[in-house]
Copies of this chain bind each other. A is one copy, B any other.
């Protein structure tokens, strides 16, 4: 397991959280960046909604990845059967807000 810990800790500009299917946090490299926490817990609901919409349209189809491109972050969610990986990656697109944060 330590290999995973090392890999997670090497990711500087990437906030990563791995949860179980019920949302309990299994691994995370987030200290207390409240913005990231808010994103992670809010966008998680969207995954469930998106998956049910996709299945309503075509039960044989399924969502394997959901990606939000924002001005300051990219949020990528991989909804697995027994886990969920959520990544919040800072993007330097908006240099003007770089100094403020």
Please list the residues of chain A having a beta carbon within 8 angstroms of any beta carbon in chain B.
35, 38-39, 42-43, 45-46, 49-50, 53-54, 56-58, 60-73, 97
Contact = CB atoms under 8 A, between A and B. Distances in A.
Given A66-B67, A67-B66, A67-B67, A58 B46 contact: no
Number of copies: 2
Given A46-B46, A50-B46, A53-B42, A97 B60 contact: yes
A63 B64 CA distance: 20
Nearest to A97: B60
A51 to B, nearest CB: 10
19 contacts: A35-B57, A35-B58, A46-B46, A46-B49, A46-B53, A49-B49, A58-B72, A60-B97, A61-B70, A61-B72, A61-B73, A62-B71, A63-B68, A63-B70, A64-B70, A64-B71, A65-B69, A66-B68, A66-B69
